[in-house]
Amino acid sequence: MRLSLSIAWAIAALICFFLPWFQVSCGGVQAFSVSGWQLASGAEVLGERQGGHAYVLIVPLLLLALLVLLLVTLWQGRSRFTSAVPELVAGALCILVPVIEFFRLRAEVHGEGKSALLGVFTRYGFWGMLVCGLALAAGGIRSLVSNTRHTPPSRDQPAKLP
């Protein structure tokens, strides 16, 4: 059950990557919105081509790799522990990358000589990435904790007696 939930959260995070993350407005009027894909590939903003940030692409690539790992784990009936660390890392990146991009874009918009009327606001893709990232990270932590509690002693070490 938990494995299928992780698959659903990873798919949801992948979808949120392509939804609008941020909206830039001028005087309360929306100027443009950008998604994670546009941030990675370099979007055209107000007629100007912006440089892309390739590190943003690590999020969908890691999510795809995690999906493959989760599906293989589910198909072969392996231990959930196999996917715990990648799930935790994917969740952390789903949280960190949008937050870093928000502060980078905000600093760029409010840089020297820029109008005070410009504002950067978060959109539903940003919040979806955060929720999916928290769910993936929580699932990874839960798998790690539950596996360490129930790990039998190794054959080399004798079992501890009470």
**How many CA within 13 A on the CB side of residue 112?**
0
Question: Is pLDDT above 70 for 49?
Answer: no
112: pLDDT confidence band, cut at 50, 70 and 90?
low
**pLDDT above 80: residue 155:** no
Give the model confidence (pLDDT) of 127-138 as tens digits.
999 999 999 999
Residue spans of the domains in the chain: they are 2-43+50-145
Distance CA 91, CA 102 (A): 17
What's residue 108's pLDDT? 80
Q: How much of the chain, in percent, has pLDDT values that exceed 70? A: 78
Global confidence as pTM: 0.78
Query: CATH fold of 2-43+50-145, please?
Result: Butyryl-CoA Dehydrogenase, subunit A; domain 3 (1.20.140)
Mean pLDDT along residues 53-82:
83
pLDDT exceeds 60 at position 13? yes
The per-residue pLDDT of the chain, averaged, comes to: 82
Nearest to 35 by CA among 23, 50, 49, 51: 23
Q: Which of the two residues, 34 and 28, has the higher pLDDT score?
A: 34
**Could you tell me the pLDDT band of residue 91, with boundaries at 50, 70 and 90?**
very high
User: Please, which contacts does 76-84 make with residues 24 or more away whose CB atoms are closer than 8 Å?
Assistant: 79/147, 80/2, 80/3, 80/143, 80/146, 80/147, 81/143, 81/144, 81/147, 83/3, 83/6, 83/140, 83/143, 84/140, 84/141, 84/143, 84/144, 84/147
